[in-house]
Amino acid sequence: MKRTWVVRVGVAAMAAGMCLTGMAAEGQVVSPAPNPQLPPPAPLAGVRYDYPWEIYGGFAYSHFDAGPKLLQGANLGGFDARAVREFGTRWGVGVNGRGYYGTTGVSPNCGSCTGSGPNAGPITGPFVSEHMFLAGPEYRLARNEHAAMMLHAFVGGAYGNFQSALGGVNPASLGLFSNQLTVAAAMGGSIDLNRSPRLVFRIAPDATLTDFGHNGFAEQLAISVGVVYRMGHQFRK
């Protein structure tokens, strides 16, 4: 009899506990599980090469010979600007304008040559400049989301100004070319480092060819550093 009473009390206690647990569960508000925090997309995840236009502008340098037999070349600084119409992810056609400015050495046997004017003295280190107007194809050799390598072959013309600082002295007596327009070309490429889907940092070395009177084309070194901006709507999915 006593054992039966103990069993009944135990069953009643278990039933009461289960009832209280169910009531607590019914009154509890269950919060939804928080959404997982995804990492932000990588800054170069959206890099593509199907924009129809690329515009480039940068600072330029050229080692230039301002005369046919000068021992000292001219180190010129200036600008390099390009616009390229892309016709796919690899091929494009561009136009290129360049300007180079600086001073040059002169022939050593003309140290006594003087310019005109009341304060004229021996001419040393006269100012010279070169402007190039070019166009031609461009080919994207390799590419990924981080960088690309380009090749180009631009041809056109160049105008050299060698007499603006001579004060009327014959440029030939200083070993310099005369002012003239000539055929020119720029053969080289560029390394593009993507900073965003549209913005690119570019390094562009070139061999430039001109014929200002070298008895044939003379090869000069040129390089520019600047920024590319990709424009327009993507034309290939």
Contact, 126 vs 103, CB < 8 A?
yes
Break the chain into its structural domains and give their ranges: 53-110+122-231
CB-count burial class (<10 Å; 0-12, 13-18, 19+) for 230: buried
CB-count burial class (<10 Å; 0-12, 13-18, 19+) for 212: buried
The CA angle 179-184-73, to the nearest 5 degrees, is: 60
Which segments in the chain show pLDDT lower than 50? Answer: 1-3, 5-7, 9, 11, 16, 19-20, 23-25, 27, 118-119, 237
The whole-angstrom separation of Cα 167 and Cα 114 is 8
118 DSSP assignment: T
Q: What is the pTM for the complete model shown?
A: 0.76
pLDDT in tens, 47-84: 888 899 999 999 999 998 899 888 778 899 999 999 99
Q: Name the β-bridge partners of 80.
A: 58, 98
pLDDT in tens, 154-184: 999 999 999 988 888 889 888 999 999 999 9
Q: Give the architecture (CATH level 2) of 53-110+122-231.
A: Beta Barrel (2.40)
Contact, 224 vs 60, CB < 8 A?
yes
Contact, 113 vs 90, CB < 8 A?
no
